[in-house]
Amino acid sequence: MVLDTINNAHLYYGLGPRFVRAFEYLATTDFHALEKGKYEIDGDHLFAIVNEYDTVDPSGEQMESHKKYIDIQYIVKGAELIGHDFLQQQTPSRAYSETEDYMLFAEKPAFFTRLDQQHFAIFFPTDLHMPNLRIDQPAAVKKVVIKLAV
């Protein structure tokens, strides 16, 4: 996993051309003007999901992991906590869904990170993550999740 600010996105261009396109999309798109929804960048290989929600208490949440896609989660507005751990020998509490590309894990996160506006996190298939968590109380967040095909 990678945690950083959008000002440092150029440091991750070496991860490949899809990362370059994803970060260029984040840098050049006015997300305040975009509605919630899915936005194609390069077909099923690279797309964005814009979402708005109120952050939630971690007690009812589970960590997730993906196999087909890498996530770049970028905070447009607001702030949230994200719980993390490394995928090792954990057993999924919800088996992997090929069509939805995720599985869930009941274990508690090993650590948490606060993501503020203009911060991003990259989650690879070996990274468990529990996003959308409240900091002190529920708060409104607008976030873009870029999905990059593995």
Per residue in 49-80, pLDDT (tens digit) is: 999 999 999 999 999 999 999 999 999 999 99
DSSP letter string, 118-141:
TEEEEE-TTEEEEEEE-SSS--EE
Count how many domains the chain has.
1
CATH of the domain at 121: 2.60.120.370
N-to-C CA span, the chain: 14
Range of the domain at 139: 2-149
Per residue in 110-122, pLDDT (tens digit) is: 999 999 999 999 9
pTM of the model: 0.95
